[in-house]
Each structure stands twice: as C-alpha cells, then as structure tokens.
Structure 1
C-alpha cells in the first residue's frame, strides 16, 4: 500500500524521528506509475518533506544527497539558524511553517500546496 501511495503522491511527509530511526531514503521513480505521474504533470518521484522543529538531522544521508527532487525540510521560524543553513547547504528546500519552535500542521499543508504539492 505504501508503494502505491508514494507512486501517486506529490509529497511524502515524515517526522524527523522516523527519518532518523528508519534511515529514510529518497523516494524512487517507479515504472508502474511513470505513465500516470507524467499524465498528471508530476515528476518521476514524489518529494519527501521532513517535519522537524530542531533540524537534528544528518544531512549527509542519501535522503539529502541523492534525491530525484530536493528534499523539503519543514520547520518553524525559531529553528536554529545554523541548522537551517546546514539544511540549505545540503540542498534541502527549507520551508518555514510555524512560529517559535513549533511546526503548525495547517501551515505545513498550505506551504506545501503553495509549492504545488497537493497530493
């Protein structure tokens, strides 16, 4: 089921702890969904969005170094500036979706939708 969901999605959202514990990797292009994704105007694979208030992530992981599309790091305005810079240097697209150190789920949805990531 997860393979099918990823095959149809614009973006896969994961929490930072899940990324750390599972050694998350970039989403892959799946031949079974290539035609459908192309017809829907989607790229070959969904983006991955990692939600984190602290940005306590290993930016040398393949999720950040080998994605087909840049990984999004969704955080709040009060996140550590040095970690935001580290994410950007790793090629991540940093999305601010909250005030202070808390990420606001409704803002996450709005910010992703503004980037065309609605599914």
Structure 2
C-alpha cells in the first residue's frame, strides 16, 4: 500500500509540469493592446524600423572607423619605406681658378650670413624671461 502511494505521488509530481503547459488560445492576440491589432502591428513595425536604422548607423560608423584606420596604416607603411635612391647630381663643370675662388668666397659669405641669422634667433630664444 505504501508503495502504491509513493508511486502515485511520484507520478503526480512528474506529470504536473506537463499539465501546466498551456497553448495560446485562438482569438485576438492583441486584445488588451490600446488601439487593437492595427496599432500593435504599427508599433512592431516602428520598433523594427528603429532597430534596423540603429544597426545601419552602427555599421556606417564602423565602416568609417575602418576606413580611417586603413588610411593611417597605409601612411605608416609608406613612411616606413626606404627612401628611393637619390639621383646623383651630375658632376659640376670645372671653372678657372679665379672663378672657383669667387664661388668659394661667396659660399663662405652665405654660410656666415646664415649662421648670423641663426645666432640671432638662438639669442632671442635664450633671452632672460
């Protein structure tokens, strides 16, 4: 007798979840929705459109970000390249000794003027504050 009660109790506890499952009742699925079925369907469409619009914006932002990263990587690769071999200048034509001396003197004067201009800038930058 005790075994029969135990088995009955065991079957009742295992069968309860199966009996508790209910299926949707046929009829109006949006009966409690304000505005009824058309308003519910319109809201579903609106929510889906908003979701798709947000997803599209997110995809566009990601594409823009990847384009910027691609440009930065390309610039980095181009900057890392070894510079092209500089073309050797053709040899300077030979001048007479007087012309050579005049060229050397003018180059020395240009260097002095440049150094003087640079020293003025350095002096101005090093001035007491």
Instruction: State TM-score, norm by structure 2.
Output: 0.13
Instruction: State TM-score, norm by structure 1.
Output: 0.14
Decide which structure has greater helix share.
Answer: 2
Higher relative contact order (CA 8 A, sep 6+): 1
Decide which structure has greater strand share.
Answer: 1
